[in-house]
Amino acid sequence: MAESPKPLDHSRIGEFKPKASILLVDDNPANLISLRALLSGSEQNLVEAGSGEEAIQRAQSDEFAVVLLDVLMPGMSGFETAKLIRANERSRQTPIIFVTANDMDRSQLEEAYALGAVDLLVKPLLPVVLQAKVRGFVQLFEAKQRAKHEAEQIRLLVHGTSDYAIFMLDPMGYVMTWNSGAERLKGYIAEEIIGQHFSRFHPQEAIDRGWPTQELKMAEAQGRFEDEGWRIRKDGTPFWANVIITALRDDGGNLRGFSKITRDTTERKRAEENARYLAEEAIARRVAEENEWRWRNLAEALPNLVWTDLPDGQCDYLSSQWGTYTGIPESELLGLGWLDRVVHPDDRARTLACWMTAVEDKGVFDLEYRIRRHDGQYRWFKTRGVPVRDEHGKIVKWFGTCTDIQDRKQAEQHLRESEERFRQLADAMPQIVWTARPDGNIDYQNLKWFDFTGLPATLGNEGWQQIIHPDDARPASSLLKKA
């Protein structure tokens, strides 16, 4: 039977404990033993070198927290060894502590520190001093190694993540880093986008309203800003993105830049919109059915002739008032049956032309024409139809009413006949006759006006003053206005 896996020690997950190495350089083996004894209580790896040449080889192959270097060695001296250690890229920043049995004059001290020495110890060495100095450099080395390790882990995480665009911006919003996910998502390679402003990922309308700048301001003020909206790839195609911008500050609280994580959520948005559309469609159907029932009840209660048409202009409903008025069943008037059955022959051509124009132009239908009553009499109706549109602007129905205006037509005709009789009477009079509206503007002058003045009857409200004597014009105008 196979053994079960041992429980994972969570306390050690992600743990990184760098072990520092210390290079001990001295041509005298006894001195090396002494140094090792003095540092024996530490957990560091002690590496020995018996000459300058060996020390240089060690420095080239390994990384050390600190080098304890004897000054006076036969062959290659400690100073020459330090110079060559410093010349190597790997060990250029490695701290060097010179160790000597003799006092050094001023020039030697200056030379030691010029070569990059961080300290100089004179034998016999005090264990406490040596251990304290070495411990300080070891701690610095371990902190540096941990930082390097963390940076490498972050680099691997960022550059190994292809589903997210992860990159950094400077405080002004210019791109500083770029990962493989950003290249895949946005289409830019690092060489062409680093140094460019991140606003190029936004649509032009967002740039015009200053949204990129606003994003950074909110991230700086709140520490973190999250948004969803349209972003633009290099090839110009849009995608819906979830964006998180985090302000990055140093230990002093100074803003050093921003991290930005972008995720393509287009598919999620499309699925949400489809689900919302289906839900809205179901609700709309229920509402439409309820509204249809209410609307038909309302239509039946109106005295007007009410009708609806399909988007192509074919009638699909007539209220019961149509049957009562025309004496013809609704089924015989649907489609375009109403045109030939009840519209006056002299009105059919213009009615059809006007209706088809409204359907084609998707505009309002407004026309007056005569409709035959059940007793054969034609009466004038004012018909008005408007398109009913859905939320996308598409016509789904036409709604209209026909209102009996026969009495109004007759009244207008009587008024025109009365006005004509008045004009004939006024033109036959020997006096100048005129009329004015309630605001005082003259709207009529008879033929005697033209015969007497030779002026047209279209001079307007002030034109009549041309024929008044200058001494009388102002008083006459004042009296008219007062009246």
CB neighbourhood size of 167 (10 A): 24
Domain boundary among 126, 153, 180: 153
Boundaries of domain holding 244: 161-264
Question: Could you tell me if 365 and 347 lie in one domain?
Answer: yes
Question: Could you tell me if 145 and 167 lie in one domain?
Answer: no
Q: Are 70 and 27 in contact (CB under 8 A)?
A: yes
Q: Are 160 and 184 in contact (CB under 8 A)?
A: no
Q: Is residue 51 part of a domain?
A: yes
User: Residue written as tokens 């393509």?
Assistant: 264
Question: Could you tell me if 143 and 54 lie in one domain?
Answer: yes
Question: Could you tell me if 127 and 215 lie in one domain?
Answer: no
Question: Could you tell me if 199 and 260 lie in one domain?
Answer: yes
Q: Is residue 297 part of a domain?
A: no
Domain boundary among 264, 293, 317: 264
Q: Are 79 and 69 in contact (CB under 8 A)?
A: no
Instruction: Give the residues of the chain that fall short of pLDDT 70.
Output: 1-16, 42, 147, 149, 151-163, 283-284, 287-295, 297, 299, 301, 426, 439-440, 456-467, 472-473, 476-477, 480-483
Q: Is residue 368 part of a domain?
A: yes
Q: Are 120 and 108 in contact (CB under 8 A)?
A: no
Alpha carbon of 265 to those of 115, 230, 234, 412: distances in Å?
58, 10, 17, 66
Question: Could you tell me if 227 and 101 lie in one domain?
Answer: no
The string over 288-318, giving b where at least 16 C-beta atoms fall within 10 Å of a residue's C-beta and e elsewhere, is eeeeeeeeeeebeeeebbbbbbeeebebebb
pLDDT tens readout for residues 17-55: 778 888 999 999 988 888 888 888 767 889 999 898 998
pLDDT score, position 11 = 47
CATH of the domain at 383: 3.30.450.20
pLDDT tens readout for residues 180-189: 889 988 999 9
Question: Could you tell me if 346 and 440 lie in one domain?
Answer: no
Q: Are 457 and 464 in contact (CB under 8 A)?
A: no
Q: Is residue 277 part of a domain?
A: no
pLDDT score, position 1 = 44
Question: Could you tell me if 239 and 205 lie in one domain?
Answer: yes
Question: Could you tell me if 245 and 306 lie in one domain?
Answer: no
